Amino acid sequence: MPLTTKPTLFSRPFFEDKSRAFWTLQAAGWTGYLILRGVSSVSNASELSVIIPVVIESIVGYSITLLLSTLYQMYRRQPRLAMALLTIVTLAVATLLYSVLDAFSFSFIKLSTPGLTVSLVLGTIFLNFTVLAGWTALYFGINFYLIVEEQIDQLATLENTASSAQLAMLRYQLNPHFLFNTLNSISTLVLLKETERANAMLGRLSSFLRYTLANEPTAHVTVQQEFETLKLYLEIEKMRFEERLRTEFEVDPRAARARLPSLLLQPLVENAIKYAVTPQEDGADIRVSARLNGDRVQIVVSDTGPGLNEAKARTSVSQSQPLSTGVGLANIRERLAQAYGPDHKFETRSIPGGGFGVEIEIPFQLEEPKKEAA
C-alpha cells in the first residue's frame, strides 16, 4: 500500500485550493499574532484585562487585511508600476486607518476621557505599519511563488510533450527505413519472376507492420516481446537470404520481463544483415542475447561479418567518433538518450576472429514508464 504524505505549508497540494489555503493562513497568522501580543502584554502588566485591547487590535487587523486581499487581487491585473503605486498608497491608508481604530479602542478602554490624539495615533502607527507591511509582503510573496510554480509545471509539461514527440518521431523513422529495404527485396523477387516468394514476403511484411503499428510509438515492451518482433522481421529477411542468414536468440528468463523501447533492436539486426550477411558469399550468423546483471539488463547483438575495421574503412569514420552505419545506430542512440538520459550504455566493438557487436545496458524496469499528465 503506497504511503501518503500530508500536504505541508508550502507544498503544491496545500495551494491547490487557493481559497482554503488563504483562509487557513489568515486564521493561523492572526491567531499567532494574538497569542504573542497577549502573552507579551500580560507579562508586562500582570493583569488579564490588558488582553482586551489586544483582542480588539487583532480583530481589526484581521478585518483590514481581508479588505487588503480584495484590493490587492484587483491590483494584480494592473501593469507592474501601477500595481506598485496602488499597493503603496493602499498600505499607507490602511496603516493610518488601523492606527486610528487602534488608538480609539485603547483610549476607550484605558482612558477616563476617551478620544483621539495625535500622540496616541503616532504611538501605534509603527507597529501597525510593520504588521500590515509584513502581511502584504507575505501575500505577494506567496502569490509570486505560486506563479513561478505554475510556470515550472507548464515548462515541465511542454518538455514532456516535446520529449514524447521526439520519441514518436524517432520510432516512426524506423518504419520507412525498414519498409524501403523490404520493398526493394520484394521488387527484386518480382523482377526475377519469383511470384510465390514475393507474395509470401508481402504477407509476412503485412504481419510485421500490423504487429509494430499496434503499439504506441513511445511504448515500452518486454524483452521477450522485442525478441518475438525480431524473429518476425527475420522471417521476412530469410525469404531473401535463405541459408546465408543464420540466427540465434538467447534470453535470460529473469530478463525476459524487463521493458525497453519498442523496436529498439530492429535497426541493429538490420545493420548486421546489411554489413555482415549481404557482402559475404557464405552469409553470417547473427546472435541476439539478453541477460540480467544485478539491476541492469545487458543486451548484445553480434554478427560474424567483416567486423569493425572493414566497416571503418568503408564509412571513413574518425577514430574519435563512434561507428555509425547509417540511420539505425544514430536512431538508437537518440532513443536511449530520450528514454534513460545518462543512465544507459551503448557500445560498439569488433569481435576477435571477425565480427561486429553492439552492447546495450539499461536499467531493469518491469513497468511502463509513467507519462506526465498534461
Q: Which residues have a Cβ under 8 Å from the Cβ of 153 and sit 6 or more positions away?
A: none
Query: pLDDT at residue 138 above 90?
Result: yes
Percent of the chain at pLDDT > 90 equals 30
pLDDT bracket for residue 207 (50, 70, 90)? confident
Q: Which residues have a Cβ under 8 Å from the Cβ of 260 and sit 6 or more positions away?
A: 220, 221, 223, 226, 297, 299, 339, 362
Which range of 84-88, 149-153, 202-206, 313-317 scores highest in mean pLDDT? It is 84-88
Distance CA 76, CA 208 (A): 58
Query: pLDDT at residue 246 above 90?
Result: yes
pLDDT bracket for residue 176 (50, 70, 90)? low
CATH 3.30.565.10 fits 219-363, yes or no: yes
Q: How high is the pLDDT of residue 358?
A: 93
Write the pLDDT tens digit of every residue in 314-369.
444 333 333 334 556 777 888 888 889 899 999 988 887 788 999 999 999 987 66
The average pLDDT across 178-189 equals: 78
Burial class (CB in 10 A: 0-12, 13-18, 19+), 175: middle
Residue spans of the domains in the chain: they are: 12-155, 219-363
The average pLDDT across 168-187 equals: 66
Q: Which three cell numbers stand for residue 115?
A: 478620544
Write the pLDDT tens digit of every residue in 13-22.
777 788 888 8
pLDDT bracket for residue 374 (50, 70, 90)? very low
Cell 538490420 -> residue: 270
Phi and psi at residue 246, to the nearest 5° = -120, 130
Q: How high is the pLDDT of residue 221?
A: 87
Enumerate helices (H) and strands (E) in the chain, giving the number of each. Answer: 10, 7
pLDDT bracket for residue 47 (50, 70, 90)? low
